[in-house]
A and B are shown apart, each in its own frame.
Chain A
């Protein structure tokens, strides 16, 4: 692991410590929901932080497990919420990375059966991945529905139109051991800005794992693959130069840990500091990977450090 900061270890850090971190790192990875925004509302100060990082010549990327929207939508959202200069190339969603995985790692020849929404299909189509069209008549059942002959992968993401029939078809395709089983992410539930939650892709993937007796390959955090996509696009990224900023211990912090990055938990989202402390105090050493190196109340806590840096340069 990188860095020799004395203040590492699930500690809340402020001004001078944040400033040291900002000077030491040149690659910042941000989760979105609960870190940069809540639904349609940017976290106060987040736009200033991101804009300032970019102005100071830092690399900034956004790494999200949310598979429901194509990346273009995110570009527009960033712009709408006052984040200037965020480009498509900085956005890494689990749907985009699933498409890259199928195209570049698997080099898939054959169709993909998708349990997911339009945003996921769009990313696959844009990458030139053939997706099975859904053409069932409303009365079709698993006993009599058509099954395509050349399905080489089943990909599960968030799907609000999930039906029993889709689950049944997917498990039939997965009987072929040469048919891959991929999941955009494993999040069991997704939080909404209201504080309520909805079933996540993880719950749909779990159902299909039981039906098929197989384990899915997970593309999104905490799996390393999205970092590999980032690294490949930026022609090599040194983990020691990176800081992963997120709000969810089981995804963001573990992702950072798995990739050898320093991790920072922001408290504007899902996980509470008490949960981080529990993981730290756990007897199970694997739980220690979920413990953030640093903690901030909000990423707006970066702002004073920038003000100092700017004062100094004047």
Chain B
């Protein structure tokens, strides 16, 4: 990357950047919306980019919605989007299990959402485990839970029904060495309004990894799989692609890892102080998390689109 890093994106620099890319990838939470509220100006940005002939995609680590559900939410909030443009980890995890793991027509133990179940079923992968799983009996019973002999993998996504019993089942499956282990992402938390936060999939994954003393393969950002999935489907050129996100350790790192230009928006998790910390560290891995540019909000792109 030439020039100074993490430059504020405005004026001529903004126009130059837009002219130099054909495809723009947006994270969702903290970038185009917060919960159910669109970031002010975000729908106009997306829609105008498309009208200017740019291809727009959405790449989110959130595994609680199918791409159809995302498209519906986006329509409701005024974004002009089709489901093919959305790459969530539920969809990509199903793709990963099918292509990288060769699991079509087989079964997995799923610690995850109904959305994950639907995306798995759409590619012919059956599951067991979704939903509440309350403890009963004693330790002897738990260690001897009946295991479905068809299960080939343990798959972990965001699961509000997470419980000790589910953790136990996952462990019992993973003790079998030929059982695969896949997680959607490692995000540590999802911020909520009012200062609360929801523990992210990363916490649940860590619990399973610690108990089983095994590492999962993860599908979501910053792993390049989601970009590869998108690129292979749509023929995207890395050099003419921009990744827009709010998290340095997922969005920006994905961009760096895939050779994309990167833009940080400050409407979500990461701050300029975080960027400075990475910039000043001597660590090469951390410096990959420094974005090329930043904006206060993606609405800052509007001046270049409305003229």
List residues of A whose CB falls within 8 A of some B CB. Answer: 141-143, 159-164, 167-168, 171-172, 175, 188-189, 192, 194, 196-200, 202-204, 206-211, 213
Residue B20 interfacial (CB < 8 Å): no
Q: Min CB distance, B206 to chain A, in Å?
A: 5
**Contact yes or no, B188 A160, CB < 8 A:** no
The residue in chain B whose Cβ has the minimal distance to the Cβ of A209 is B206
A143 CB contacts on chain B under 8 angstroms: 192, 196
CA distance A16 to B209 in the complex (A): 44
**Contact yes or no, B143 A167, CB < 8 A:** no
Residue B16 interfacial (CB < 8 Å): no
Residue B139 interfacial (CB < 8 Å): yes
Residue B282 interfacial (CB < 8 Å): no
**Contact yes or no, B135 A160, CB < 8 A:** yes
Given contacts A159-B164, A161-B164, A199-B167, contact A207 B199 (CB under 8 A): yes
CA distance A248 to B211 in the complex (A): 16
The residue in chain B whose Cβ has the minimal distance to the Cβ of A170 is B199
Q: Min CB distance, A290 to chain B, in Å?
A: 15
Closest 7 A-B residue pairs measured CB to CB? Answer: A196-B143, A211-B199, A203-B211, A207-B207, A199-B211, A203-B210, A206-B210
CA distance A34 to B139 in the complex (A): 16
**Contact yes or no, B168 A167, CB < 8 A:** no
Range of interface residues on B (Cβ < 8 Å): 35 or more
**Contact yes or no, B203 A199, CB < 8 A:** no
CA distance A161 to B227 in the complex (A): 39
**Contact yes or no, B164 A197, CB < 8 A:** no
Interface string of B204-223 (1 = CB under 8 A from A): 10111111110000000000
CA distance A203 to B174 in the complex (A): 14
Contacting residues of chain B (7-56) with chain A, CB-CB under 8 angstroms: none
**Contact yes or no, A210 B206, CB < 8 A:** yes
Given contacts A162-B164, A164-B160, contact A208 B143 (CB under 8 A): no
Residue B157 interfacial (CB < 8 Å): no
Residue B140 interfacial (CB < 8 Å): yes
The residue in chain B whose Cβ has the minimal distance to the Cβ of A159 is B164
Interface string of B233-261 (1 = CB under 8 A from A): 00000000000000000000000000000
B162 CB contacts on chain A under 8 angstroms: 162-164, 167
**Contact yes or no, A198 B199, CB < 8 A:** no
- A-B contacts, 5 of them at CB < 8 A, read A168-B196, A202-B210, A203-B210, A204-B207, A210-B199
B168 CB contacts on chain A under 8 angstroms: 198-199
**Contact yes or no, B199 A164, CB < 8 A:** yes
A194 CB contacts on chain B under 8 angstroms: 140, 143-144
The residue in chain A whose Cβ has the minimal distance to the Cβ of B165 is A160
Q: Min CB distance, B7 to chain A, in Å?
A: 29
A141 CB contacts on chain B under 8 angstroms: 160
B208 CB contacts on chain A under 8 angstroms: 203
Contact of B135 among A161, A175, A207 (CB under 8 A): A161
Given contacts A171-B197, A198-B142, contact A163 B204 (CB under 8 A): no
**Contact yes or no, B211 A189, CB < 8 A:** yes
CA distance A209 to B204 in the complex (A): 11
Residue B189 interfacial (CB < 8 Å): yes
B207 CB contacts on chain A under 8 angstroms: 199, 203-204, 206-207
CA distance A163 to B188 in the complex (A): 17
CA distance A171 to B159 in the complex (A): 16
Residue B171 interfacial (CB < 8 Å): yes
Given contacts A160-B164, A168-B198, A192-B143, contact A200 B211 (CB under 8 A): yes
Residue B102 interfacial (CB < 8 Å): no
Residue B161 interfacial (CB < 8 Å): yes
Contacting residues of chain B (245-288) with chain A, CB-CB under 8 angstroms: none
CA distance A208 to B189 in the complex (A): 11
Residue B122 interfacial (CB < 8 Å): no
CA distance A143 to B215 in the complex (A): 31
Given contacts A172-B196, A189-B211, A210-B206, contact A198 B139 (CB under 8 A): yes
CA distance A197 to B170 in the complex (A): 12
The residue in chain A whose Cβ has the minimal distance to the Cβ of B204 is A207
The residue in chain A whose Cβ has the minimal distance to the Cβ of B144 is A196
A206 CB contacts on chain B under 8 angstroms: 206-207, 209-210
**Contact yes or no, A192 B139, CB < 8 A:** yes
CA distance A192 to B137 in the complex (A): 15
Q: Min CB distance, A261 to chain B, in Å?
A: 27
B144 CB contacts on chain A under 8 angstroms: 194, 196
Q: Min CB distance, A34 to chain B, in Å?
A: 15
Q: Min CB distance, A175 to chain B, in Å?
A: 7
CA distance A255 to B220 in the complex (A): 38
Contact of B188 among A172, A188, A203, A211 (CB under 8 A): A211
**Contact yes or no, B188 A210, CB < 8 A:** yes
